[in-house]
Structure formats: structure tokens, C-alpha cells
Structure 1
Amino acid sequence: MFRISSGRRAVLGLAAAAAMTVSLAACGEETTSGTGTGAPVPSAAADAALADKVPAAIKSAGKIIIGTDSTYAPNEFLDADGKTVKGVDVDLFNAVAQKLGLTTEWQSAKFADIIPGVSSKKYNIGVSSFTVNAERMKETTMVSYFSAGTQWATKSGSTINPDDACGKKVAVQVGTVQVDDITARSKKCTEAGKPAITVDQYQAQSDATNAVISGKNDAMLADSPVCAYAVKQTNGQLALVGDIYDSAPYGYVLPKDQADFGGAIEKALEALIADGTYKTILTKWGVEAGAIADPAVNPQVS
């Protein structure tokens, strides 16, 4: 998700509020995930040459410990059991790990705690819809794997203009690039003599979504696949507003000194793109529009 330094729930459906409450309560639990429900994802054969580039401690353990904010459907969110993390990010990185000869252990965490957790080696990697940007690459190694933009959503039947939301109440998740986005828009309002935007920040994206459904907030903005999924899963309670903008790559987050490991992950992604596994996974979750052809370690970004 578009998230800045330091963008996810059980499928919403008709019982949206209840499902989101269950998922939030389970946040912070350590979980080991499969691919979740839905169409099966083909297994990826291990590549010995890539496996040799895995850091010794991880290779010895045979598994990679992943920090994720499991409140960001369809990217990473909790299954109906309230423990198992699933989503497009989960399916895709599980396949990457298989290429590296590793199993995965997904640990739910607050989004803002993941990068510090990677830096302190609590997690081997952060996989949580992190937007690649220069600020993050100052302290981490990042490997791009997907592209997303920002999208707005509101309650069906409501009207809001993202370019003139002055005086409105808008929901965003803490620590995301959308916080900067809406803060800048509010500043333009006040500079023009109009009412400021009330910016409500939520720890979990599911809570931001629920705030719009309940009418507490007039609108929300989040990463484009997240908004699209929320609209679909709430059976028409929400509607998308305006166009997708500010597209940028997502990246896996590694410790700063692990560029070589990042290179192995990049090559694993390239193999998954070449054999069609990458496309199969994205299509399963309906996010194939965000596919990229050229994953990279610390890609250049504007």
C-alpha cells in the first residue's frame, strides 16, 4: 500500500463491521499462512543458485519471518479464523520463498512497527504494501514487485470531489502516503479561506473503511487495489470516486546491508513472471492491472 515511513482484514461481505472487528482483534498475533481460500496457486520449484544467496541464518532456519500489517485486503489480511494471513502479497511472497528454498512465517504487526522491526532483525523482511520511496531506501533495501496508485471511496449515494473536499471528514490509515496527501489538500483549503478537511487517522485500514460505511467519515483514500476490493466486498455500500493517481511501486523491505539477498528475491520474481505464476496470483485477486515486468533492487523513483 502506499505507506510512508515509519497500506488491509477478514473479507468484508455483508457483515462488514463484524468481520473487520474480528480481524482487528487478532492483529499482533504470530501466524503461519498458506495461500488462503480461492483458486489454488501453483507451487514454485526451488532454484539452488538463488537459494545459495540466502543469508546463512535464514538458510539454516529454513524459513523467513515476515512482518506484515494484516489489515489491508486484498493485499494482506486475516482469514475467517482470525489468525491466518492471506492475500495477494502473501501468495506472491510465498512463491518467492519457495524459489529460495524457504518456508514462510507471517507475523501480524502495526504498519509503523514493521520497518523498525526489520532493521532490528525481529523480522527478516517486511511485506506489507510498502510504497518504494527515497526516504525508505535510506534505511532499508527495497525490491519492487507491484504498482499501485491512490483512490478515493465514499458511501454509495454520497458525493464528494477529491479536489474540493474542504470541510469534509476523511479517513486514512496511520503511516501511509495518503496522510501526506490529505494533509496537503487540507492546507490548500485553508489557504483559500475554506474550511479545513478533518483528517481522521486509523491504525487499521479496516477501521477507516468501516468509518465510511457507518457514516462517521465522508470518504476515505487508500491504495487503489484496497479501495476497489472494499467496494466489491461491501456489496455496493461503497463507491469509488475519481481517478487513480500517483502510481508508484510497492517494495519488499530488507535490512540495508542485504542488497545481495534483495538481488536473489529480484531474480525469483523474474522467474515467477517468466513462468506465469506471477500473473496467475495477481489474477486470482483481481489486481492484474498492477503487474510490473521489471522488479528491481532499490529502483529509481521520483
Structure 2
Amino acid sequence: MPARPTVRRSLLVTVGALAAVGLTAAGCGSDSLSGGSGSSSSTTSAAPSGSADASLKAMLPQSVQDSGVLRVGTNAEYAPNEFLEGTTIKGMDIDIMNAVGAKLGVKVEYSNASFDSLITGVTGNRYDAAISSFTINAKRLEAVNMVQYYNAGTQWVVAKGNPEGIDPDNACGQAVSVQTGTTQSDDDLPKRQEACKAAGKPEIQVLSFDSQEDATAAVVQGRSKAMLADSPIAAYAVKQTGDKLQLAGDVYDAAPYGIVVPKAETQAAQAISTALGEIAKDGAYEAALTPWGGENGAVTEFPVNPAAS
């Protein structure tokens, strides 16, 4: 899951419930909890199927039970996890959340907003939950509950054939693109910069972009020599650009993604955790991952507030 675009156009779109299969993303795992402005655009999933568990719905806030709607914030800038295709929000996270909503017996209403506004949107009761490739970390757990649902690491991407011979472990002096506000931007690259300085080498030329799409385009266009992003996003970027890019090095620093829930709503967090376990058993979880190539990040347990760094 972080400063991402702060201005959006309002729109109303519909995404399917359960593991809706979309067509074709930010790792959004930043350590920031800062608030952000930014308009939001809402989308509402279809009505849940007959697999709803009434006992789980009863664990949700009374306002959600009464309305039958779970308000979920996301930042649709991080394909294949959450992104806009035309006027429709799609992605792996969206399919997972729709399956959870169906199990809870509620409709899921998405608000597409700036990434750095999502956690404060949850704490401020704008959203009942948020899903947007949020890496679970200790700083976030101070403010909200987080329910683990996936595992992702960091991956580097270079031009096809790696003509510049980029080594992720020795990128000093190279132009490297990244999405602003991600763990890669806020944690990974600063550490690499310090290593470059300590070795007396030139600093990495960091090109920071509000959207992952722009960070990827910089490599395709040759403006940067490499980029780094969450592993599923990097792999998807390579796939979408055909023969223009390739992965470089191994996936590292794997960490869990979490669905964000207000700190006080411990029962709701547990309901989401249980719903995730149930969709894992009935196949909807796997069905949500497979179209996006997300199988390698699947988890078998969905704890609330797991230990985090």
C-alpha cells in the first residue's frame, strides 16, 4: 500500500460480488499514516450470493447490519491488485473483498481515493474498511486493526535483456523509478542510498511518481534504468508490456498484506478473518487470486493483527 494522486473525478461503477474475474494496479505498503485530501469515487458490488453467514454479519457494526452495505476504501492505481479499467474498479484485492462481502452477507461499496487518505478515512468513519495492498507493519497497527489476506515481497524490473546490466544489489548511480509512498520508496531505496554513500559511490537517481503506471512507463521509455515494486505488481507490469521488460533479481522482504478495520471494531475484524478462512475452504479465495497470477502469495491463515516489523 503514501502520497498518491490526490485529485480524482467522481464516478459510479459496478463490480461483481464473489471472485469476479476481471480482464487485466500501489505496494503499496507504505509505513505512512499521514492523511490526505482527494476526492473519492464510489462503486458498489453486486448483491451477495446465498453463501452468506448470518453469524458473521451479526459481528459487523450495527450501521453495516442495518444498511447491508460495507463501505470500503481503495486506491485503484496498482494493477493487478486494484485498478480502473474504464469506469470499473477491478483487481485481485477487489475480487477477494467481494468474496468476503458475499460471505458476510453485505454489498461492498468502494470509494476510490488517494492512498494516503485511506487509513485516516477508516479511523474517521468515512469507510468501514480499506483494502489497497497495505503491508502490515507496526506503525499501522498502532492506529487500526489489520486482517492478513496475502503475502508479497519486492521485485525489481529492468528493460528486456537488461542492457544496462542493472544489479539490484548495486544500483548506485543508476536512475530508478518507484511509486511515491510505497515501502520501496520510503524504506527500501533510502537504505540503499545510505549504502551507496557509505561505499563512496554516487547515489541512486530516484524518479518518484504518483502512480505505478508512470513508474513502469519510465522504464519502458528509457527514462529510468529499473524500477522496484511489490512482487505481484512487478510481474504484472512485465506481462502487460510484452517483450519490453523483465524481472531482475529475486523477490525479497516478503511481508503480509492486510485489510484495514477501525481499531475499535475488533469483532468486525474477526468476522472478516473468519470470512477469509471460509472462502479459502470453498474455493472463492483461490478463484480470486488465479486470474491475476497471485497464487504464489496465497496464505493459509488470516490472523487479525499478526506480529509485524
TM more than 0.5: yes
Alpha-carbon separation, structure 2, partners of 1:44 and 1:177 = 39
Alignment match of 2:297 (pick from 279, 286, 290): 290
**Conservation of the 8 A alpha-carbon contact between 2:74 and 2:132:** yes
Aligned partners of 1:296 and 1:227: how far apart in 2?
Answer: 26
With over 3 angstroms needed to count, the CA separation of the structure-2 counterparts of 1:44 and 1:146, relative to structure 1, is farther
Please tell me whether residue 33 in structure 1 is matched to residue 15 in structure 2: yes
Match of 1:168 in 2: 174
- What is the DSSP-based 3-state SS (H/G/I as helix, E as strand, rest coil) of the residue aligned with 2:279? helix
Q: 1:293 to 1:71 in 2, by over 3 A?
A: same
Distance 1:157 1:6 in 2: 32
1:69 aligned partner, one-letter code: N
**Preserved contact between residue 33 and residue 105 of structure 1 (Cα < 8 Å):** no
One-letter code of the match for 1:37?
G
Q: Decide whether aligned partners of structure 1 residues 299 and 30 sit closer, same or farther in structure 2, where only a CA change above 3 A counts.
A: farther
How far, CA to CA, are the matches of 2:129 and 2:120 in structure 1? 11
Partner of 1:55: 61
2:89 is aligned to 85
The whole-number CA distance in structure 1 between the counterparts of 2:133 and 2:66 is: 27
SS for the counterpart of 1:210 is helix
**Candidates 199, 210, 214, aligned match of 2:206:** 199
- Does the aligned pair in 2 maintain the 1:155–1:218 contact within 8 Å? yes
TM-score (norm 2): 0.85
For 2:79 and 2:9, the matched residues in 1 are separated by 14
Cα deviation code 1:148-192 (max 9, x no counterpart): 000000111332101100001111111111011011101110111
Question: Which letter maps to 1:247?
Answer: A
1:134 aligns to 2:138 (yes or no): yes
* 2-structure distance, mates of 1:266, 1:133: 17
For 1:129 and 1:238, the matched residues in 2 are separated by: 23
TM-score by length of 1: 0.87
2:117 aligned with 1:116, yes or no?
no
CA contact (8 A) 1:147 1:247 kept: yes
Which of 67, 70, 95 in structure 1 is aligned with 2:99? 95
Q: Identify unmatched segments of 5+ residues in structure 1.
A: 8-22
Identity of aligned residues (%): 45
Instruction: Please tell me the residue identity of whatever aligns with 1:210.
Output: A
Cα deviation for residue 25 of structure 1 reads 8.8
Shift of 1:27: 6.4
Checking the alignment, whether the CA contact within 8 Å between 2:73 and 2:130 is kept in structure 1 is yes
Could you say if the C-alpha distance between residues 247 and 54 of structure 1 is closer, same or farther in structure 2, counting changes exceeding 3 Å? same
Question: In structure 2, what is the equivalent of residue 259 of structure 1?
Answer: 266
What 5-or-longer segments of structure 2 have no aligned partner?
A: 25-47
Query: Structure 1 residues 6 and 58, CA, compared in 2 at 3 Å: closer, same or farther?
Result: farther
Letter in 1 for 2:138: A
Query: In the alignment, is the contact (CA less than 8 A) between 2:6 and 2:113 conserved in 1?
Result: no
Distance 1:115 1:137 in 2: 11
Cα RMSD (Å): 2.2
2:196 maps to which of 174, 186, 189: 189
Higher helix share goes to which structure?
1
2:220 to 193, 213, 221: 213
